[in-house]
């Protein structure tokens, strides 16, 4: 008698692992770009027809999860009607129900765009329709990686779909790359994207006081900065990061080592592009910019709680987060670092079966 293996949506986290490519830049296919409304012509409701002006996404980056899904390969045979008949088939993957989605402009630069994903029953009704009974829900704002020189918001669409199935409205944002603007332009864009989400909270029926920032690799620095720069706890409910480059100068020095890998040397070059200078130069303004890009340099007691995740032997070591977590705890802010076995970086951490459940449990605890 052959057995059936069926993966249900309730335990999709253990049935489906995101597939990523090693290195600083992992490419995944993105969706067909959605027309983008300008800031002055934002549609009244999610899903409304946006104004033209969208730019095609850049090549997706290395720190974002794959959206590819395997085919079942065959259909199960029909039942014979016998009481003890067992239907045989390959594993059947049940994916979360597709959310609604739209692309919006939170600024005038082509990179200042974000994708929104929401459940059809979550947004407020259009004028004249019956009032929405559902209370405002929590939201997630995601920042992609790519060493600040590549990457695209679209590469996190499947991860966003999984979270919408859990009741979250998810926003995945692009930001100006280091090749287009030097630091702190990336932090400014992250803050502007968050402000846009909060100002338009009613459009998606979300609670602006229950927004969590998630960042991967280079995007992890932006999420961490949202939680530490100024009064982070007033800005976001919490910060969750995967392999965050929280200390750019550490990445710079690691890339100078004789034993540095090509990926580490590439990340070092990306740091100089990010800050727009070389830290070894006798230039006080350069060192000020490098220090400003270090998330730990902004820690105060008013920061947002954080959870950072790293693999034991990866491109961005856990030391990028252990010092930050220690500083946060010293200021009375809850912070922890989860280290999983292996060499996976950023979205590759999702291949560990403990990671997605840990993410979901932490999000639920922070957004109650």
pLDDT tens-digit profile of 68-113?
343 334 443 343 433 333 333 444 445 556 789 999 999 999 999 9
In a domain? residue 172: yes
In a domain? residue 7: no
In a domain? residue 212: yes
pTM (two decimals): 0.75
On whether the CB atoms of residues 314 and 243 are closer than 8 A, the answer is: yes
In a domain? residue 64: yes
Calpha distance 194→4 (Å, rounded)? 45
In a domain? residue 209: yes
* Band (352; pLDDT cuts 50, 70, 90): very high
Pick from 25, 21, 244: which is nearest to 150 by CA? Answer: 25
Range of the domain at 338: 24-69+97-366
* Helix, strand or coil, per DSSP, at residue 251: helix
Pick from 103, 127, 110: which is nearest to 196 by CA? Answer: 103
Calpha distance 142→317 (Å, rounded)? 21
Residues with Cβ within 8 Å of 267's Cβ and at least 6 positions away in sequence, in order, are 24, 147, 245, 251, 254, 255, 315, 316
> What total of structural domains would you count in the chain?
1
Query: What secondary structure letter does DSSP report for 342?
Result: S
In a domain? residue 184: yes
Residues with Cβ within 8 Å of 290's Cβ and at least 6 positions away in sequence, in order, are 248, 249, 252, 275, 279
In a domain? residue 3: no
In a domain? residue 77: no
Instruction: Calculate the alpha carbon distances from 74 to 1, 71, 163 in Å.
Output: 18, 8, 29
The residue with greater pLDDT, 72 or 187, is: 187
Q: What is the CATH number of the domain that holds 297?
A: 3.40.50.1820
């Amino acid at each position: 008698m052959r057995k059936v293996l069926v993966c249900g949506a309730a335990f999709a986290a253990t049935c489906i692992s995101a597939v990523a490519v090693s290195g600083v830049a992992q490419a995944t296919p993105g969706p067909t770009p959605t027309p983008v409304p300008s800031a002055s012509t934002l549609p009244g409701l999610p899903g409304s027809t946006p104004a033209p002006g969208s730019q095609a996404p850049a090549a997706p980056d290395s720190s974002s999860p794959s959206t590819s899904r395997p085919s079942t390969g065959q259909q199960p045979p029909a039942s014979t009607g016998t009481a003890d008949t067992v239907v045989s088939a390959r594993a059947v993957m049940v994916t979360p129900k597709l959310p609604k989605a739209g692309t919006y402009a939170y600024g005038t630069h082509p990179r200042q765009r974000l994708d929104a994903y929401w459940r059809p029953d979550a947004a407020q009704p259009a004028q004249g329709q019956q009032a929405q009974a559902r209370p405002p829900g929590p939201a997630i704002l995601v920042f992609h990686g790519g060493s600040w020189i590549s990457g695209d918001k679209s590469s996190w669409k499947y991860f966003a779909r999984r979270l919408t199935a859990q009741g979250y409205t998810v926003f995945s944002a692009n930001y100006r790359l280091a090749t287009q603007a030097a630091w702190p332009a990336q932090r400014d864009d992250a803050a502007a994207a968050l402000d846009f989400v909060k100002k338009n909270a009613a459009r998606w029926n979300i609670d602006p006081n229950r927004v969590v920032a998630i960042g991967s690799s280079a995007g992890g620095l932006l999420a961490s900065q949202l939680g530490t720069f100024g009064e982070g706890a007033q800005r976001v409910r919490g910060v969750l990061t995967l392999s965050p480059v929280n200390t750019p100068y550490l990445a710079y020095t690691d890339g100078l080592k004789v034993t540095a890998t090509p990926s580490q040397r590439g990340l070092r070059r990306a740091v100089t592009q990010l800050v727009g200078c070389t830290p070894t130069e006798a230039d006080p303004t350069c060192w000020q910019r490098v220090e400003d890009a270090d998330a730990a340099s902004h820690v105060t007691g008013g920061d947002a709680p954080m959870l950072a995740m790293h693999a034991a032997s990866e491109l961005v070591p856990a030391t990028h987060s252990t010092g930050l977590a220690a500083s946060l705890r010293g200021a009375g802010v809850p912070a922890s670092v989860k280290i999983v076995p292996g060499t996976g970086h950023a979205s590759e951490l999702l291949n560990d079966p403990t990671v997605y459940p840990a993410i979901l449990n932490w999000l639920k605890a922070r957004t109650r």
